[in-house]
Amino acid sequence: MENIVCKNCGSKLIKQEDCYVRENCGEKHPIQEEQVFAKTLPIKTLQTRELSIGIKVQTDITEQQTLSLIDTYIKLEQWEEAEKLVNDILSKNSVCTEALWKKLLIEKRAMDKETFAKRVTIANLPYLDKIISEAPQEMATKILDLLYNERTTASDAFYCEILKIVLPYRYEKREAQIKASFACAIANSLKMSFELLLTTLNSADVDSYIQYNLRYAKYAKTRAEKKEYLLRVLKIDEKNMEVLKMLLYTQLKDDDLPSAVLNTLGNILKYSEDKRAEIKGVLTWLGKKLHTQNHCLIAKEIFLCYTDELSAWITELTALSQITLRNGYFEDSEYFSKLILSFAPNNSAVYWNICLMKLRVKTDKEILDLDVSLYTIPEFNKYLALVDETRRIECIQLEKEREKQKELKKELKKEQKQQKEKELKSVKSNIRKSLLSTIAFAIIAVGDFVNGGSIGWGFICSIISFFSLITSFVFFNDAFAIKKDIKNIEKEQ
């Protein structure tokens, strides 16, 4: 076991042959007491500091009165007057934090803290940090609370910058504010803020670290992010069954590679007290939600590596054979069907699945659109022999209806062909007429020009001849298209 520390004192522990030794004092712990140790958290704990008591500068009664007057001007939005008074105070007392705070309110044209909170920007944060570090505790506390409470409206990036300013300060409400900020970051998937908040934990906060990461994974916006945080927890607590199961089903939903899914399943089975229940859970999920080729491979691998007597899994195998058929994975459907037949050779439902699979259809209704007869499938008669008479009649009637539909389609194709042949005959007639028209007007035009006739009449005849030729080409194109349609109909017949 590597990178472990004592939960009690945080000292690094060095493993020897039969014990662990504390690095600081050399105290030994037997190997069997390994449960008192924890892995080192992969975070660098944030360094904190106390709030200042405020820089003590002698203030006279006039300054206090002026600050009160500034408050009045701010409430009445008399910004220029307020700014003059603030600048006057700061020229005499540059570290007057109240004046510095009011100066920022004036710059933002904010009558109160709530309005200021809506208008504060990242550029203002260093200035606020200066005020907090020098202000009396009561004032600093109000500003810290104001900034912490921005979590409900600020973007992730902006709130992260706010946290960089406020987190180092220790004050009465710090723990409550951090807890509320964690809750907000988790609920809204504020990843940058969440990562910064984790730095408030120390090496002894293993349980909190696990719970926060687990909660973040549950609310993650994407499955990729969810897996990232689940894997982070497993680095600290590899036996956490809740996390392992959540990771497994996330991988299934995300269509991860079979190797990754099976690796997670293997870890679950390693630590589970009821291995059969875990396998059953995965197979049941696949039987209901299988939708990719990877899912098919995972199911096959489970039956190869983790299952005992196949007959004990007939419910799961039946569901898999059906869902793979519905999704068009015909070879996979055949695979699961044959597994069932290996221990249940008289399972009629499986034979019907095989019939559909060999016909490459997903439902009974699709059989009506086929040209191939059910009787060409060897398993069809086996199926009929196993079912009751009512079902036999239904299947035979289905085959008769299919044959009837086939004949109707033939008649329809025949009519379509005849119609196309009529269209082709008409188009050929139009081609002849158009070509004759082209030739006739061309002869007239040439004769007119040779005999010295009217230029206008010869020109008109040549134009008519040209357009007749174009019309002929259009008819030729129509004829080729109709011939193509006729060939397609003949193929379908």
**209-249 pLDDT per residue, tens:** 999 999 999 999 999 999 999 999 999 999 999 999 999 99
Q: pLDDT category, 449, cuts 50, 70, 90?
A: low
Range in 60-64, 224-228, 297-301, 460-464 with the lowest mean pLDDT: 60-64
Distances (CA, A) of 286 to 50, 255, 256: 56, 12, 14
CA distance 65 to 286: 75
Confidence grade of residue 279 (pLDDT, cut at 50, 70, 90): very high
Find residue 28's DSSP bridge partners. 21
Residue 34 has a pLDDT of 39
The mean per-residue pLDDT over the stretch 51-75 comes to 69
Please, are residues 405 and 368 in contact by the beta-carbon 8 Å criterion? yes
Cα distance between residue 157 and residue 176, in whole Å: 22
Coil, helix or strand for 451? coil
- Please compute the mean of the pLDDT values over residues 472-477 and round it to a whole number: 81
pLDDT at 169: 92
Per the DSSP assignment, residues forming a β-bridge with 13 are 22
pLDDT grade for 310, boundaries at 50, 70 and 90 = confident
C-alpha atoms less than 13 angstroms from C-alpha of 322 in its C-beta half-sphere = 12
Percent of the chain with pLDDT over 70: 86
Cβ–Cβ < 8 Å for 138, 98: no
* pLDDT of 37: 42
State yes or no: pLDDT of 269 exceeds 60: yes
Distance CA 22, CA 229 (A): 31
Q: Are 489 and 419 in contact (CB under 8 A)?
A: no
Residue partners of 161: CB distance under 8 A and separation at least 6: 122, 125
H/E segment holding residue 14 = strand 13-15
Mutual angle of helices 97-107 and 61-75, in 10-degree steps: 20
pLDDT in tens, 361-404: 999 999 988 888 999 999 999 999 999 999 999 999 999 998 88
User: Where do the H-state alpha helices sit in 167-292?
Assistant: 174-187, 191-198, 206-219, 223-236, 241-253, 258-271, 275-289
Question: CB 378: neighbour CB atoms within 10 A?
Answer: 11
| Average pLDDT of span 465-493 | 79
What are the tokens at 203?
């090496």
Q: Is the pLDDT of residue 56 over 50?
A: no
As a whole number, mean pLDDT of residues 13-41 equals 55
**What's the distance, CA 481 to chain centroid?**
47
Residue 458 has pLDDT above 90, yes or no: no
Mode of pairing for the β-strands spanning 19-22 and 13-15: antiparallel
**What global pTM score does this model have?**
0.69
450 — pLDDT class (breaks 50, 70, 90): low
**Residue 206 main-chain phi, psi, to 5 deg:** -60, -45
Cα separation, 411 vs 427, in Å, equals 24
Q: pLDDT tens digits for 175-188?
A: 999 999 999 999 99
Distance CA(208)–CA(201), nearest Å, equals: 8
Sketch the domain layout of the chain as residue ranges: 4-40, 43-202, 419-492
What is the C-alpha separation between 187 and 190, in angstroms, rounded? 8
Find residue 4's DSSP bridge partners. 39
6 neighbors 22 (Cβ within 8 angstroms): yes
Q: Which residues pair with 22 in a beta bridge?
A: 13
Beta bridge partners of 14: 21
Supply 422's token pair: 């009529």
**Nearest CA-CA partner of 177 in 217, 212, 147:** 147
C-alpha distances (whole Å) from 241 to each of 34, 246, 265, 272 are 20, 8, 11, 8
Give the whole-angstrom CA distance, residue 165 versus residue 269: 46
Taking all residues of the chain, what is their mean pLDDT, rounded to a whole number? Answer: 84
Count of Cβ atoms closer than 10 Å to residue 124 Cβ: 14
Contact 225, 191 (CB under 8 A): yes
